[in-house]
Amino acid sequence: MSKCWLCSQEVSEKARNYKHHCKLFVMFEIGFSNWEQPYITYKGQAVNTSEEQFREMVLVRAGHADMYVDFEGSVRFTARSISYSKLGQKGFDVVYENCLRVIGDDLLGCGKDDLHDEIIMRF
């Protein structure tokens, strides 16, 4: 067992492609650092999104999420785990491609192919 250099998660290289896992976290870093976060205040205080919250929002938008109903009866979403113990390689491939689309096409507007090229350059 080793640890991922980006997320410090214990990884078993047999269960899933370690480099592919790392590329996803590079994608999240690129997306977060280039995303124009809207300026929003709540009760007079600025509200910001952390990199961890950004990852969760991308995973939810990519469809890797569970639904629940909150106290007011609204449907909410929470991202499912992408840990090695929870997600095999085939499922991870789907999540990776969906996140590539969400960040590249929807959030940054650069296209998933250009985003993928940037990931490869930084990796």
Mind giving me the DSSP string for 82-101? Answer: --TTT--HHHHHHHHHHHHH
Distance separating alpha carbons of residues 77 and 71, to the nearest angstrom: 14
User: In this predicted structure, what is the pLDDT of residue 94?
Assistant: 96
User: In this predicted structure, what is the pLDDT of residue 15?
Assistant: 67
- Tell me which of 1.10.3790, 2.60.40, 1.10.10, 1.10.3470 is the CATH number of domain 2-122: 1.10.3790
pTM (global) more than 0.75: yes
Q: What is the mean pLDDT of each run of 10 residues along the chain (123 residues)?
A: 60 72 96 94 94 97 97 97 91 96 96 95 89
Ordered by start, the domain boundaries in the chain are: 2-122
Short-list 83, 32, 21, CA closest to 58? 32
User: In this predicted structure, what is the pLDDT of residue 11?
Assistant: 55
User: In this predicted structure, what is the pLDDT of residue 84?
Assistant: 87
CA distances from 105 to 28, 78, 97, 101 (A): 14, 22, 11, 5
Contacts with 111 (C-beta within 8 Å, 6 or more apart), sequence order: 104, 105
